[in-house]
């Protein structure tokens, strides 16, 4: 039971840690601007987009994705506007300056070379950022899946202490029943014998088993002969049965003819044989 209480305490600690983690990983906190992370009570009015304000009370991954797309579009427009304004300002300063700023062909070529290098570096940085974002998204999905599995396992673990207690009580009851049955059983029973007595009983059982095996082998050896004898007897029985049926039929036919007054010749033949017998006896001088 001490293990069960210890497991319950550990489970309670895990649930408490999980609750704190949920507070730290709340999606509303993740969706807040970076500048507001340190604030305890961020105000929705400090957010820079009405898209976020409309879904602030019920943020979801889809809402955050739409919010991110909206921010990307805003920053793209802001970048274009900034470049346009800076270019206009430089152009106007070059025209109205005293003396006017005149840019030659060589300077343009040099600037184009620098621009190509900067663009190549920017492209490389963008590719690195893209790969980093993909890796972070992959890690985020993996962590989300693992966190969901942990929540499921925590829910399953919450039911374990009660199941463990039920199993322990069941085991205790079975042990008590086993002890009671052993105490109330016959001490001469085979389950309560000592080791020498058990070995002796085992030898007797093995001897009986060997004798039974020999009997079975002998029966199996005589089985083909007995089978042939049984088949021969069965054939004889079938012949005798057929003769019996024929004899019964003849007797029934003779009885029917006798009842109807018909003569089948057997009675006359019998009288003739009897008369012939008496005649022969008289001839040889013997008495019947």
Summarize pLDDT for 119-137 with one digit per residue, the tens: 999 999 999 999 998 998 8
3 state SS of 45: helix
User: How many domains is the chain partitioned into structurally?
Assistant: 1
Question: In whole angstroms, how far apart are CA 73 and each of 3, 24, 103, 167?
Answer: 58, 29, 34, 61
Q: CA–CA separation, 215 vs 141, rounded Å?
A: 74
Q: CA–CA separation, 218 vs 211, rounded Å?
A: 11
Q: CA–CA separation, 215 vs 212, rounded Å?
A: 5
User: What is the pLDDT at residue 211?
Assistant: 93
Residue that wins the pLDDT comparison between 98 and 126: 126
Q: How many CB atoms lie within 10 A of CB 116?
A: 10
Quick check: 184 and 194 in contact, CB under 8 A? no
Only one residue has tokens 């919010």, namely 67
Residue 149, C-beta contacts closer than 8 angstroms, at least 6 positions apart: none
Q: What is the DSSP letter of 103?
A: -
Please tell me which of 3-17, 133-147, 253-267 the model is most confident about, judged by mean pLDDT. 133-147
Please report whether residue 43 resides in a domain: no
Q: What share of the chain is helix, strand, coil (3-state, %, to 5)?
A: 85, 0, 15
In 3D, which of 63, 41, 61, 38 has the Cα closest to residue 50?
A: 63
Please report whether residue 241 resides in a domain: yes
Only one residue has tokens 């793209």, namely 76
CA dihedral defined by 28, 29, 31, 33, rounded to 10 degrees? Answer: 140
Quick check: 59 and 45 in contact, CB under 8 A? no
Please tell me which of 14-18, 44-48, 177-181 the model is most confident about, judged by mean pLDDT. 177-181
Q: CA–CA separation, 157 vs 98, rounded Å?
A: 80
Please report whether residue 1 resides in a domain: no
Q: Where residue 40 falls among pLDDT bands split at 50, 70, 90? A: very low
User: What is the pLDDT at residue 24?
Assistant: 55
Please report whether residue 104 resides in a domain: no
Please report whether residue 248 resides in a domain: yes
Only one residue has tokens 């049955």, namely 181
Instruction: Report whether pLDDT(56) > 60.
Output: no
Q: CA–CA separation, 14 vs 288, rounded Å?
A: 124
Q: What is the mean pLDDT of residues 100-119?
A: 84
User: What is the pLDDT at residue 224?
Assistant: 87
Q: Tell me the pLDDT tens digit for each residue of 169-219.
A: 999 999 888 777 766 555 555 566 677 888 888 899 999 999 999 999 988
User: What is the pLDDT at residue 91?
Assistant: 82
Q: How many CB atoms lie within 10 A of CB 52?
A: 20
Q: What is the mean pLDDT of residues 104-128?
A: 90
Q: Does this model's pTM top 0.85?
A: no
Please report whether residue 90 resides in a domain: no
CA 198 to chain centre: 43
Q: How many CB atoms lie within 10 A of CB 166?
A: 10
Helix or strand holding residue 222 (H, E)? helix 195-259
Please report whether residue 59 resides in a domain: no
Quick check: 50 and 31 in contact, CB under 8 A? no
In 3D, which of 49, 15, 35, 255 has the Cα closest to residue 155?
A: 15
Q: What residues make up the domain containing 224? A: 208-284
Please report whether residue 276 resides in a domain: yes
């Amino acid at each position: 039971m001490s293990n069960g209480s210890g497991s319950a305490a550990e489970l309670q600690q895990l649930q408490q840690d999980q609750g704190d983690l949920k507070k730290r990983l709340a999606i509303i906190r993740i969706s807040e601007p970076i500048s507001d992370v340190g604030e305890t009570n961020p105000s929705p009015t400090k957010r820079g987009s009405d898209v976020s304000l409309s879904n602030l009370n019920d943020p979801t991954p889809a809402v955050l994705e739409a919010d991110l797309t909206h921010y990307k579009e805003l920053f793209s427009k802001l970048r274009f506007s900034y470049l346009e304004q800076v270019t206009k300002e430089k152009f106007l300063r070059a025209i109205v300056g005293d003396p006017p700023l005149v840019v030659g062909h060589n300077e343009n070529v040099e600037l184009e070379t620098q621009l190509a290098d900067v663009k190549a570096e920017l492209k490389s940085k963008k590719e690195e950022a893209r790969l980093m974002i993909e890796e972070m998204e992959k890690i985020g999905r993996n962590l989300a899946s693992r966190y969901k599995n942990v929540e499921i396992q925590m829910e399953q673990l919450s039911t374990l202490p009660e199941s463990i207690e039920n199993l322990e009580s069941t085991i205790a009851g079975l042990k008590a029943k086993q002890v009671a049955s052993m105490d109330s059983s016959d001490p001469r029973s085979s389950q309560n014998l000592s080791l020498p007595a058990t070995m002796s009983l085992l030898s007797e059982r093995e001897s009986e088993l060997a004798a039974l095996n020999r009997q079975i082998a002998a029966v199996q050896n005589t089985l083909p002969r007995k089978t042939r004898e049984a088949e021969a007897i069965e054939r004889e029985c079938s012949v005798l049965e057929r003769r019996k049926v024929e004899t019964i039929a003849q007797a029934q036919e003779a009885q029917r003819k006798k009842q109807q007054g018909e003569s089948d010749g057997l009675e006359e033949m019998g009288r003739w044989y009897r008369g012939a017998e008496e005649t022969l006896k008289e001839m040889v001088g013997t008495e019947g």
